[in-house]
Structure formats: C-alpha cells, structure tokens
Amino acid sequence: MTTSCRVALVALAATWLILLSTPAQAALISENQEVAIGKQTAAEVEKEYRVDTDLTRNERLNRVAEPLLKVAERKLAWRFRILDDPQINALAVPGGFIYATRGLMEQMPDRELAFVLAHEIQHVEKRHAIRQLEASLYRQVGLAAALQLLTGGRISQGTANTIALANMVVANRYTQDMEREADSDGIRMMARAGLDPRGAVDALRTLQRNNKSSMPKFLNSLVGTHPLNQDRIRHAEELAGSLAFNAAPVPDAQLPATDSVREARVMLALESGPSSLNPDPDLMRLALDLQATSPSESRLEQTQGLVVWTFPENLTESQINHGLMAQEMPRVLGSRTFRRYGVSMVQLPEGRRRVVLVVR
C-alpha cells in the first residue's frame, strides 16, 4: 500500500470516528448563526410572496401572538408578518420569523389562529429547521466540511454561505415526529398562556378541510408537509382535553373618556374638506382600539397611514382642524391620496386630547 493511500485511509477513519462520536443532537449552528440564516430565509420568502401590510390584520396577528410570546422559552426578536396569499397556511423561519397567510387570517377566529401561531413558534423553539439543516450538512458535506463552513466561513445575512444554507432550510420537510411535537407543545403553550387549548382541535379540522397549499416551494410550512390525518386530530383532542388552563384575564383597557363633540367636528372636517374622506366602520373600531394601547407614533405604510396627534385643551375648533388636516396629515402622509378613514379622540390628563386617525 502506498503512503498516499495510507494517509487517505487514516484521514477517512478519523472523519468517521468524529462522526460516530458526535451526538446526534449536537448543535453545530449557534443561535447567532441561526438568526442570520433566518433573516436570509425570510428575505427569500418575502421575495416570493408579497407582505400584506393591512393595519387591521397585522394588529390582530400581533395581539393574538402576544400572550404566547410571554411564555416562550427562547428570548428571540420574534417577528410576525402576513403573506398576501389566499390559501390557508403558515410558515416558521429559524430565528423567530413567523408568517401567516392572508387566507389564514380571514378564515380562522382568534382561538384557532392562536394554535397555528403556537405550533409555528414551537418549530422555532425546538430548532426543527436548524436540526434538519445540521443533519443535511452531516449527510451532504461531512462533519469536517460542515465545521469549516460554520466556523471558518463567514455566516452573516446576505453572504453566499448564508444564502446557500437558507435555501437548504426551505428545501427540507419537517418530519412527522416534528409536526407532532409542534402540535403537542403548541397545545401546552396555549394552556400556559391562559388560552383554551381546545382551539387547537378546531384549527386542525379547519386545516384538514382546506389542505390545498399553493406554496410548494416552502416545504417547511403548516400545510403541504404531511397530511392532517384523523390520528393527529385525535391526539390533539386527547391532549387538549387533559390540560387545565386558567383563562387569561381580560385587562382593563382604562380607555380615557371620548371627546365625542370634538371628534364629531373632526369627522365633519374630514368628510367636507379637501381630503373628502369617507368613514369606515372597521377603521372607526380600529382607531378606538388603538387608543387603548396609548399610541405615540404616526406611520405611513404602503396602502394606509396612521396619524397620532396630541394637543392641549385650549385649542379652538379651527386650530384643531388646521393642525390635524393642514399640518399633521400632510407631515405623515405626504402627497398620498386616501379614501376611507376611522378616527377617535380621547381626553388625556392635564387637559390634553389625543386624536388617532387611520386612513386607507
């Protein structure tokens, strides 16, 4: 046997020894690397599907997610977004990026949506996609090359290495065990958060009726990975029925008193002035709901805007209308033209007033 052959055999034997001595669950990928891969994966998802910026849907998505995040084990910078797709689906991306489709938001009530979000959060909590990626690296390039890629190579958002790893993430499928684990731990998460875990059963039935995914490219998604069979639903029924939960108390909004008279005058100015906006009942409810969260920042999005304006009590009606319509609205909305509005005005301490105006 030649010297070069001996060297090759020794190197091969050493590699196998490392592989055999490495625990199956060893974490090759650090949390920082996971987040970098997740950011790149999220960017790939958002290239493929337009992000829905509807203010009402996004406010609802974050409201339903809030109690779940309070009991989440991993303290990530969680981000929830809506993909503008009519199918009922959801997607978890490593590092804390959770996507729900517009169809899911429109078809599921809050109790069902809470389970879907808990299920997707658990995929991230348990590092399911990252564990698949680590296994793929073992299989495809070997441990030595994987370690070189992850330790010697630069892993940050936008690099070639990260893009390649992101593509591997979306090309994998969750295993049936991973889906069952996400179901079980998602149901338990609902109970810990004070949410009725039986909402999981209704959600799975809704998904079973609508198991027609239009998102085959992203296989690590709620629909399209494995059929939602009756055994999975039966397991959810048994687990949800066995869990005790303390319903989360509905917090007192402590909404300040509405200044109905001035609010009506602002509405008249919005409808009769140069803006010529039309009142929208949904936006009116949203404007009032936002008052309970004490909003402080105005913002402009693709198809809608939010104007928050606080002013002292001693302003006249003319000054209020001028300040809101001629100063605050142009400052926030620029030259954008909107057709519908919702507005609320409340009385704050020290004689101040706060206007919340939502336009589309």
- The sign of the dihedral angle between the CA atoms of 50, 61, 198, 187 is positive
Instruction: Give the count of alpha carbons within 13 A of 2, CB side only.
Output: 3
| Contact call for residues 298 and 328 (beta carbons, < 8 A) | yes
Distance between CA 215 and CA 204 in Å, rounded?
18
At 4 the pLDDT is: 46
Distance between CA 306 and CA 48 in Å, rounded?
28
Point out the residues of the chain with pLDDT beneath 50: 1, 3-26, 250-253
Q: What is the pLDDT of residues 139-151, one digit of tens each?
A: 655 555 555 555 5
Cβ within 8 Å of residue 81, ≥6 positions away: 46, 51, 52, 58, 61, 97, 98, 99, 100
Q: What is the pLDDT of residues 99-120, one digit of tens each?
A: 999 999 989 999 999 999 999 9
Distance between CA 74 and CA 80 in Å, rounded?
15
| CB count in 10 Å sphere of residue 142 | 15
Distance between CA 85 and CA 346 in Å, rounded?
37
